[in-house]
Structure 1
Amino acid sequence: MSDKVDNLVLEHLRSIRGTLSDHGERLGRIELRLSAMEQTLGSLYTLSGSDRETLSSLARRIEQRLDLASSDA
């Protein structure tokens, strides 16, 4: 009977090991995807700042062109 219990415990431990391995692989893929999302978000923030500067510059040029703002600024 002791051999059966030992074998059952080993079988469960092997199953747990396999499950942990699967979870580790999934976690690795999730970390990779999260990293890609972080990089994309950082790029979007950079582009957003660049767009704001471009729009501000364009607004200044339009104001100067229409004589809505003083040329000292």
Structure 2
Amino acid sequence: MAEVSNELIFEGLKQVRQRLDRVDHKIDEIKSELNALRGHQISMQQDLQNVYGILGRSDMRFDHIERRLELNEVPAQ
């Protein structure tokens, strides 16, 4: 069986350490991308809430206009 020296173990550990450093770097990149996506999602949710608010106010204004012009449909009896 081949003799395993301390130098061989040390070289293997250095390679493992280098790969772990690259993995850590990639994880940091992914985390920052996820944070950016989360920020965009929050912005889109706020935009949708604003649109719904505007639509709600417009609907109330249309109802008011219809009442003033007496355009409401009266159900047939």
Q: TM-score, normalised by structure 2?
A: 0.79
Q: Which runs of 5+ in 1 are unaligned?
A: 69-73
**1: distance between equivalents of 2:8 and 2:64?**
83
Q: Between Structure 1 and Structure 2, whose CA radius of gyration is higher?
A: 2
Corresponding residue for residue 37 of structure 1: 37
Identity in percent: 16
Greater share of helix residues, 1 or 2?
1
Q: Deviations over 1:28-55 (max 9, x none)?
A: 1001101101111111111111111100
Whether 1:49 and 2:46 are equivalent positions in the alignment is: no
Q: Distance in 2 between matches of 1:5 and 1:44?
A: 59
RMSD of aligned residue pairs (Cα, Å): 1.5
TM-score, length of structure 1 as denominator length: 0.82
Aligned residues: 67
